[in-house]
Amino acid sequence: MSKIFDSRDPEYKSPFGAAACGAAVRFAVRPGTENVTGVSLLLRREFGGTEQALPLSPSGDGRWQVVYTAPAEPDLVWYAFQFTYSDRVRPYGPHGFDDSSRWQLTVYDDSRPSPAWFGRGVTYQIFPDRFCRLSVPNTAGMVGDRVVHQSWDDTPVWRPDENGIVRNNDFFGGSLAGITSQLDYLQSMGVGTLYLCPIFESDSNHRYDTADYRRIDPMLGTEADFRALCAQARQRGMRVILDGVFNHTGNNSRYFNAQGFYPELGAAQSRESPYYSWYSFHPWPDDYDAWWGIKNLPAVNELEKSYVDYIIEGDNSIIKRWLRAGASGWRLDVADELPDEFIVKIRAAMNEEKIVIGEVWEDGTTKIAYSQRRKYLLGRETNGLMNYPFRTALMAYLLGGGAEYFRDSMEELRENYPAPAFYGAMNFLSTHDTPRLLTILGLTSPAPQTRDERAVYQLSDSDLARGMSLLKLAALILYTFPGSPMLYYGDEAGMQGFEDPFNRGTYPWGRENAELVQYFQQLGALRKSHEALQSGTIVYHAAQGRALAFSRRSEHDHCLTAVNAGDEPVTLTLPWDGTLAEDALSHQEFFCGNGLLRLTLEPYGTMLVTQPQE
């Protein structure tokens, strides 16, 4: 029995997924009955606010079809069908007849292309204080009350002080020069982009409470150190992306200056401060809007003209200044709390070789924040997003769920996202905001309940072995999936840890897990050498239970990823071009007959099938 409609099948909808503004989109249905007297395509524009019904015409082969011209302006178009019979009318939606829900057609502006370099390569996220230090820093004259660990191997401070406050004022002294000193190592990992957590002056170790956007935190170094890092990275084919925290500042900042550290008047000191209009007081000076009510993070009025000029549009704005100094783009912290117009202004201030990545934890085309449907991916805002849906779906699969959920979740994303955003997503499995991947995958018993226990917890030998097997499997999917695979510093070295700050330990130089490091170097090299992995299309061949297989294909290259996340062997029969195939991980060769490849995957087994090298 033929389908009535399938939004992902080109026989029923073409082109696949999102459409550019003004593009022709063909829809077709197969009613499957002769007593249908009419079919209409029902369309509702989310932002345009209009509704229309287009009649479909019978095509003589059992189908009814129509060509719809996408709106001239970016939009979300919600569509369904309506079937007319001699005695009734029935709507048809994603769940069948009499369904009131609708499919989604994302319409985006394709006039400003995204830079191709980002999605092709590997991104490496660095928490700057914890990656590499060259010497123990002296904190004299620095903003805030800083405490420096003398030992690089200490556990980060996590207990509240005598007033019950976790101050995040313990530092290890990682620096920009330290990062520069490890560029050869990063190059050996196949890294193409360095994503640095905030580097601007701040009195906390995480630096998400900016004190001065114009100044590198002195513990990290100087502007000259930053320029040297960017220049030396570029010589190795790497670019640097900065973390832009523009929704709030620190209260101990040049702009708010609650503690009076800076010589000029801040908003907390005087209504005559040039920064007073950046903040919302009610009343001044003690009550003000703050990020999630945290008073040391006063929220800014992002669209206040002087703030827009300072951050984005002025000749020496923060966005432009640090791009001129060598940065290749910005990752926008808490993008769902930034006005769409603010993000549009940032994109407009940058040339097409620079990139804007947003932190959004859901599907970026359907996200609603503060009761507003957001516009992150309609071609004028971010180039791409941190792909939390990828992490959510893949972790569910790795931790016992079916591969079907991962496939279906990712196909929904591929259908909803404009192709540049899907292929320009920042995919990851760990970040500074999540537990370490190895810890989560290795646990076979409930996590320790107290922070005292979690602070010192290490996996048992058996759990570590299981965790490493699953981590390798996860990494293979990550590195062979569309988008930029992002590696959180130290995951490749076997770092463990639960929530913040246990996921923000220091990189274990000299104590790395050599097996994992070598594996990630192999994955980085494979990503770099295969065009199919960088930009190829994706097709799923198996997604059932614990088995997952998908292929990536470009004009002259073909790669097939096959994994078994279960503890029993799995045999798969998969399509393959040619008579020979090779597992690029183990270099084992296989014979293929009749265009089919039969593979047996051991428990937690992985293969990356490629054409044998001549």
Q: Dump pLDDT digits (tens) for 316-372.
A: 999 999 999 999 999 999 999 999 999 999 999 999 999 999 999 999 999 999 899
Q: Which residue has the higher pLDDT, 62 or 204?
A: 204
Q: Is the peptide bond before 283 cis (omega within 30 degrees of 0)?
A: yes
pLDDT tens-digit series, residues 272-325: 999 999 999 999 999 999 999 999 999 999 999 999 999 999 999 999 999 999
Percent of the chain residues past pLDDT 90, beyond the cut: 95
- Mean pLDDT over the full length of the chain: 96
Q: What is the pLDDT of residue 210?
A: 98
Q: Is pLDDT of 60 > 90?
A: no
Q: What is the pLDDT of residue 224?
A: 98
pTM exceeds 0.85: yes
| Dist. CA 102–CA 94, nearest whole Å | 6
| Dist. CA 497–CA 277, nearest whole Å | 41
Q: Is pLDDT of 387 > 60?
A: yes
Q: What is the pLDDT of residue 614?
A: 64
Which residues, 6+ apart, have CB-to-CB distance to 87 below 8 Å?
A: none
Q: What is the pLDDT of residue 87?
A: 86
pLDDT tens-digit series, residues 594-603: 999 999 999 9
pLDDT tens-digit series, residues 396-446: 999 999 999 999 999 999 999 999 999 999 999 999 999 999 999 999 999
Q: Is pLDDT of 1 > 70?
A: no
Q: Per DSSP, which regions of 170-238 are E strands? A: 170-171, 191-196, 200-201, 212-216
pLDDT tens-digit series, residues 456-506: 999 999 999 999 999 999 999 999 999 999 999 999 999 999 999 999 999
Residue 203 near residue 141 (C-beta atoms within 8 A)? no
Distances (CA, A) of 471 to 167, 184, 487: 33, 24, 12
pLDDT tens-digit series, residues 283-297: 999 999 999 999 999
Q: Is pLDDT of 10 > 90?
A: yes
Cα-Cα-Cα-Cα dihedral sign, residues 131, 134, 138, 142: negative
Q: Is the peptide bond before 435 cis (omega within 30 degrees of 0)?
A: no
Mean pLDDT of 123-141: 97
pLDDT band at 22 (very low <50, low <70, confident <90, very high): very high
Alpha-helical (H) ranges within 236-333 are: 305-308, 318-324
* Coil vs helix vs strand at 237: coil
Distances (CA, A) of 317 to 320, 350, 574: 5, 11, 54
pLDDT tens-digit series, residues 193-238: 999 999 999 999 999 999 999 999 999 999 999 999 999 999 999 9
